[in-house]
Amino acid sequence: MSRPGVRLALLGALVLVIAVATLRFGSAKPDDSAGRRTTLEKIQRSGVITLGHRENSIPFSYFDDQQQVVGYAHDISVAIAREVQRELGMSGLTLKLVPVTSQTRIPLLINNTIDLECGTTTNNQVRGRQVGFSTNYFISGTRFLTRKGSGIHDLDDLAGRNVVVSAGTTSEIVLRRINAQRKLGIRIIAARDHGDAFVALEFGKAMAFMSDAAILYGEISKAKRPDDWHVVGTPMTEEVYACAMRKGDAEFKAVADRAIQRMMRDGDMRRLYARWFQAPIPPREVNLQVPLDPKLSALFAHPNDLPLQ
């Protein structure tokens, strides 16, 4: 692409990113806060908390048929926002929702566009050099989504084939590394997000979609014929999710951790899991029927015990 073309593409992406929706807890003042303030000071001054959300990551964070943001991780981010409101003693707080992708979520935190991102973001040491993380709230193994009858059962069956991943994810990094190490000859397609990756799979551009198993089950719910698809393969990595925030902001992290740990202690996190993974969900009212993994159950009982990867 020419340099003018690159500039236009980047400008278009920026316009998409800053197109936001707002949801009010109450009244708010205009945002005239400075980026150097702590997150809590910024929120108290402006009356606004800005939440990054995914557009198409069922069942974590996505738009329903009314174009409202819903999902397991979105409910957690809203709970954190309410905890922030209590911490600051504010009578009203506006939630400003900004769409993010795997590639934009960390840059938008660093440049103060968003204050918090709860989605499918893996808490690991590499990312921990750039951003801070809350208490861990989810665990999922990395596997493959493929059509039944494809003959694909595990990684070795994909040698010399096309595999799609979401750009900027740990799945992309791991697959590229293993592909090079084992000389499998896999042709890796990097899609913009999970939704685009599944479209590539549905249209036959790839034999499999590699991602966290929980994400893959969500993609099955979008299919015209969900029974045509299944998740296969030995888990290649274990992904532990947490909410991302600006690095070094201990006060804001303490509030986020308190909200998540209270949800675990009170049983709210298990109820959220049942709501989004074991019951019909919008927009198509498909039940993902994902059993609660023993490791995730243990995490709910003992939050933040897992080490960083």
pLDDT digits (tens, 9 = 90+) for 5-24: 433 343 333 333 333 455 56
Q: Could you say which residues of the chain have pLDDT below 50?
A: 1-20, 27-35
CA separation for the pair 254, 256 (Å, rounded): 6
Give pLDDT, residue 54. 95
What phi-psi label fits residue 289: left (phi over 0), alpha (psi between -120 and 50 degrees) or beta? Answer: left
Predicted pLDDT at 27: 42
- Convert the pLDDT of each residue in 164-218 to its tens digit: 999 999 999 999 999 999 999 999 999 999 999 999 999 999 999 999 999 999 9
**Structure confidence at residue 25 (pLDDT):** 62
- For the segment 245-258, what is each residue's pLDDT rounded down to a tens digit? 999 999 999 999 99
pTM score, two decimals?
A: 0.84
Contact in structure between 245 and 131 (CB atoms under 8 Å): yes
What's the pLDDT score for residue 37? 82
Residue 137: which of 297, 19, 309 has the closest Cα? 297
Question: CA–CA separation, 74 vs 289, rounded Å?
Answer: 20
Domains annotated for the chain, with CATH where assigned, are: 9-137+242-301 (3.40.190.10), 142-238 (3.40.190.10)
